[in-house]
């Protein structure tokens, strides 16, 4: 007997729904795309309970006649393509003709739609893929689609829906995306009657960005305009390097008006910032890539959030170059390192040189970035032992010669000084910055760094001599470096007998102990001290505040606003006093005692972005750690701050009293050691 059956439609639709409909935001995506394809000028999205109970999208687009309203729910029913050839140049957002069928198979759906000419609107009700009712109804030109009780007939999927806050976050993010992609369309989003986003039709992207993110965000934007029309025209905005994000959440990327999550573009964007932004820090971006329709395949993923470019490398180049020239025209980069494709090879070389130098300067740690540090620490079998209380009590501390307040006050003056020394600003930045190229994201061994560093040295010498008109390149033999001997220090190797000698680059304290030389990163050391302090004060409910003379106001993005209500109580337990004003404006009335007022906003923005939807579900404890770490980072003295010996001593003493003197709250090493015995080895004295 044969065993293969054709599945009934409602079953195959549910299977398709598995891919298309993941959560309320994915339903909203399909409905909003349909409204845009129908040339709506106004789109209103109302949700209840984060879209789990109700998700309603109304538009004033071209609407559907009765036959179409019924056909729309059939699988593979679409008005947007006719032949397979049409798949090669898709100009609409939709084309698969399966969204409505999928959605209707897993929810209770009501469609009301009217075209300009029709006498009456048509109302169609479908539940779990079964047609329940069709009749005339009243509705102005356009379409309203209500989706109730998502996954009511698929309990397994319903279980995977997250909290209302999480789903609202995703919805808000989605609507923000489409609002940015279509400034000409007015958007409104309400959640359980509360207005989350409302923007009137805007004349251009800049005005739309202003409506959504507020004036401050706009101040930090650089205009991007580049690429070639045969490959990819790149336009939009990216943030100035001072606007730093810890996630890619503020990167809105569009390909031919379609919101995509594209790693290729994300990476190319980061490459554009190579040498101006450190590793793990991301710019904000509103980037529009316009390619000839046949250059891109959008039929890659059922949810259409991925695309495939025919000429991948060319698109990546176009994005990177456009971003670099935006940075260059704003003075963040030398103009000659960007430009025409003939200069591309030179430019790459120049970039590599900058990157190598930056790496040499910033990667004083042979173990590199936090994650690679963890990897290589594991690889060489090093273990971070937890601190031993007994051992700690044996350490005696000299009484701190200076007060913390004094120390911090100095720290706060630091950035002003830095700003004055504009000449060295570039060098300073190099200390803090790490190149972002893909190769460099991988773990690199200490010896590779040594090699690249000495290669860089000879490169400089070469180019210097070339500039002198001297054709003979001077190149030093690679210096035998002690780099490979420098190691992270574990807690039990620490003695109390640490004596500061001075600073390297005004950023790292050079010290000795009985074992040899130590390098202490002053910023992360202070970060560790403050982190412990904040955590202790918070848990004993003794957080100190400083009132601001004039409250600072701060505009939240819609997504930040969604996170705000959740995080605000935690922030207040650290000494913030915050007040939600009308709309998405927040007033900062008081800040934690040590936090410089001018850092408060940055810190808030950072926290609201790190505490993303996923973390909202996680323990409050984790959020408190995030807040303490971020506070510590913003309040700590910066690199490139000259310190008197006394202050170095103070810092070291306090560091030794912390819970984990050798690692910073973000997991980076605080102290490196170059042991005397290795120095002896290096000089062939053993």
**Is residue 78 involved in binding ligand ADP (CB under 6 A)?**
yes
Please give the Cα distance from 671 to 528 (Å, whole number): 12
Decide whether 45 or 359 has the Cβ nearer to ligand ADP. Answer: 45
Q: Which stretch binds ligand ADP (CB under 6 A): 31-39, 455-463, 485-493, 625-633?
A: 31-39
Pick the piece of the chain touching ligand ADP (CB under 6 A) from 98-106, 314-322, 342-350, 550-558. 98-106
Alpha helices in 438-577, H assignment, sequence order: 438-441, 446-467, 522-539, 558-573
What sign does the dihedral 101-103-106-109 (CA atoms) show? negative
CB atoms within 10 A of CB 519: 20
Shortest gap between Cβ of 244 and Mg ion (angstroms)? Answer: 37
Give the CA distances from residue 506 to residues 39, 502, 522, 645, 651, in Å, rounded to whole numbers and listed in that order.
59, 9, 9, 12, 14
Residue 98: both structure tokens together = 């399966």
Site for ligand ADP in 42-71 (CB under 6 A): 59, 61-64
- Which of the ranges 76-84, 198-206, 345-353, 365-373 carries the binding residues for ligand ADP, by CB under 6 A? 76-84
DSSP lists the bridge partners of residue 208 as: none
For the record, the structure tokens of 76 come out as 């593979």
CB of 242 to ligand ADP, least distance (A): 41
Task: Classify the C-alpha dihedral 168-169-172-173 as positive or negative.
Answer: negative
Q: Which residue is nearest to ligand ADP (CB)?
A: 94
34 binds Mg ion (CB under 5 A): yes
**What CA–CA distances, in Å, run from 312 to 233, 291, 315, 575?**
14, 12, 5, 49
Per-residue interface string for the shown chain with ligand ADP, residues 474-513, x marking contact by CB under 6 A: ----------------------------------------
Q: Is 145 or 563 the residue whose CB approaches Mg ion more closely?
A: 145
Q: Does 271 bind ligand ADP (CB under 6 A)?
A: no
Short-list 206, 283, 203, 184, CA closest to 243: 283
* Token couple for 465: 């001599």
Residue from 17, 27, 72, 636 touching ligand ADP (CB under 6 A): that is 72
List 25, 35, 354, 498, residue binding ligand ADP (CB under 6 A): 35
Stretch that binds ligand ADP, among 94-102, 249-257, 339-347, 429-437 (CB under 6 A): 94-102
Interface residue with ligand ADP, options 77, 353, 377, 387 (CB under 6 A): 77
Chain positions 541 to 570 lying near Mg ion, rule: CB under 5 A, are none
Among 21, 28, 50, 95, binds ligand ADP (CB under 6 A): 95
Tokens of 520: 């202490």
Q: How far is the CB of 533 from ligand ADP (least distance, A)?
A: 55
d(CA 197, CA 179): 10
- Verify binding: residue 38, ligand ADP, rule CB under 6 A: yes
By CB under 6 A, name the one of 17, 25, 30, 161 that touches ligand ADP.
30
| Count of Cβ atoms closer than 10 Å to residue 148 Cβ | 16
Task: Name the token pair of 684.
Answer: 């062939």
99 touching Mg ion, by CB under 5 A? yes
Angle in degrees, 0-180, between the axes of helices 558-573 and 597-610, rounded to the nearest 10: 110
> Among 187, 291, 152, 162, which Cα is nearest to 229's?
291
First-to-last alpha carbon distance for the chain, in angstroms, is 84
In this structure, the strands spanning 508-513 and 516-521 are antiparallel
94 contributes a contact to Mg ion by CB under 5 A: yes
Q: Which two tokens stand for residue 176?
A: 């923000």
- What residues numbered 103-162 form the site for ligand ADP, per CB under 6 A? 143
Specify the pairing of strand 221-228 against strand 232-239.
antiparallel
- Using CB under 5 A as the binding rule, whether residue 102 contacts Mg ion is answered as no
Strand partners, 134: 124
Q: Which three-class secondary structure state does DSSP give residue 556?
A: coil
Judged by CB under 6 A, the stretch of 27-35, 212-220, 227-235, 549-557 that binds ligand ADP is 27-35
Minimum distance, C-beta of residue 151 to ligand ADP, in the bound complex (Å): 18
**Chain residues 584-623 in contact with ligand ADP, contact rule CB under 6 A:** none
Closest to ligand ADP by CB, 79 vs 465, is 79
Looking at the Cβ atoms of 56 and 634, the one nearer to Mg ion is 56
The entry of Mg ion, ligand ADP, none near residue 59 (CB within 5 to 8 angstroms by kind) is ligand ADP
Does residue 370 belong to the site contacting ligand ADP (CB under 6 A)? no
Min. distance of Cβ 46 from ligand ADP in angstroms?
15
The contact set with ligand ADP (CB under 6 A) reads 30, 34-35, 38, 59, 61-64, 72, 77-80, 94-100, 143
Binding residues (CB under 5 A) for Mg ion: these are 34, 94, 99
């Amino acid at each position: 007997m044969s065993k293969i059956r054709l599945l009934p439609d409602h079953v195959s639709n549910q299977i398709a729904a598995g891919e298309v409909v993941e959560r309320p935001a994915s339903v909203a995506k399909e409905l909003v795309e349909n409204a845009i394809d129908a040339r709506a000028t106004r789109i209103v999205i109302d949700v209840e309970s984060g879209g789990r109970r109700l998700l309603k999208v109304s538009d004033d687009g071209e609407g559907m006649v009765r036959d179409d309203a019924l056909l729309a729910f059939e699988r593979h029913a679409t008005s947007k393509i006719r032949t397979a050839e049409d798949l090669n140049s898709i100009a609409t957002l939709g084309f698969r003709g399966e969204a409505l069928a999928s959605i209707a198979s897993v929810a209770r759906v009501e469609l009301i739609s009217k075209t300009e000419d029709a006498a009456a609107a048509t109302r169609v009700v479908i539940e779990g893929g079964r047609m329940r009712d069709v009749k005339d109804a009243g509705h102005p030109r356009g379409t309203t689609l209500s989706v109730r009780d998502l996954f009511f007939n698929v309990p397994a999927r319903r279980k995977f829906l997250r909290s209302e806050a999480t789903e609202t976050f995703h919805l808000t993010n989605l609507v923000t995306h489409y609002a940015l992609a279509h400034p000409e369309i007015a958007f409104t989003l309400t959640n359980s009657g509360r207005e989350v986003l409302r923007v009137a039709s805007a004349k251009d992207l800049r005005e739309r960005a202003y409506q959504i993110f507020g004036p401050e965000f706009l101040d930090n934007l650089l205009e991007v305009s580049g690429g070639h029309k045969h490959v990819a025209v790149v336009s939009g905005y990216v943030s100035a390097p001072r606007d730093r994000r810890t996630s890619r959440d503020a990167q809105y990327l569009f390909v031919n008006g379609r919101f995509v999550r594209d790693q290729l573009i994300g990476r190319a964007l980061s490459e554009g910032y190579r040498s101006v932004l450190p590793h793990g820090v991301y710019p904000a971006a509103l980037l529009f890539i316009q390619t000839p329709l046949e250059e891109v395949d959008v039929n890659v993923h059922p949810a259409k959030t991925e695309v495939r470019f025919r000429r991948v490398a060319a698109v990546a180049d176009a994005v990177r170059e456009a971003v670099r020239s935006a940075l260059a025209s704003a003075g963040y980069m030398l103009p000659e390192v960007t430009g025409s494709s003939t200069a591309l090879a030179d430019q790459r070389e120049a970039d590599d040189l900058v990157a190598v130098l930056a790496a040499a300067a910033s990667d004083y740690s042979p173990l590199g970035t936090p994650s690679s540090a963890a990897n290589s620490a594991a690889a060489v079998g090093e273990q971070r032992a937890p601190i031993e209380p007994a051992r700690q009590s044996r350490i005696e501390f000299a009484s701190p010669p200076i007060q913390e307040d004094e120390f911090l006050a100095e720290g706060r003056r630091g950035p002003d000084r830095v700003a004055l020394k504009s000449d060295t600003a570039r060098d300073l930045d190099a200390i803090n910055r790490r190149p972002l190229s893909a190769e460099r994201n991988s773990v690199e061994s200490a010896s590779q760094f040594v090699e690249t560093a000495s290669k860089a040295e000879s490169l400089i010498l070469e180019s210097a001599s070339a500039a002198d008109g001297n054709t003979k390149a001077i190149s030093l033999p690679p210096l035998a470096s002690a780099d490979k001997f420098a190691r992270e220090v574990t807690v039990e190797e620490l003695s109390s007998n640490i004596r500061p000698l001075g600073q390297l680059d005004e950023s790292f304290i050079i010290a000795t102990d009985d074992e040899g030389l130590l390098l202490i990163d002053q910023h992360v050391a202070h970060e560790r001290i403050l982190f412990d302090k904040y955590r202790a004060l918070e848990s004993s409910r003794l957080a100190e505040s400083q009132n601001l003379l004039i409250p600072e106001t701060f505009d939240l993005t819609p997504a930040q606003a969604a996170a705000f209500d959740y995080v605000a109580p935690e922030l207040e337990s650290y000494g913030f006093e915050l007040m939600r004003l009308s709309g998405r404006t927040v007033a900062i009335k008081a800040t934690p005692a040590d936090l410089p007022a001018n850092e408060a906003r940055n810190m808030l923005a950072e926290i609201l972005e790190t505490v993303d939807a996923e973390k909202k579900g996680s323990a409050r404890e984790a959020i408190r750690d995030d807040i303490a770490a971020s506070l510590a980072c913003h309040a700590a003295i910066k690199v490139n701050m000259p310190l008197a010996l006394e202050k170095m001593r103070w810092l070291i003493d306090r560091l030794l009293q912390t819970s984990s003197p050798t690692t910073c709250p973000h997991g980076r090493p605080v102290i490196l050691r170059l042991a005397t015995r290795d120095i002896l080895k290096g000089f062939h004295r053993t």
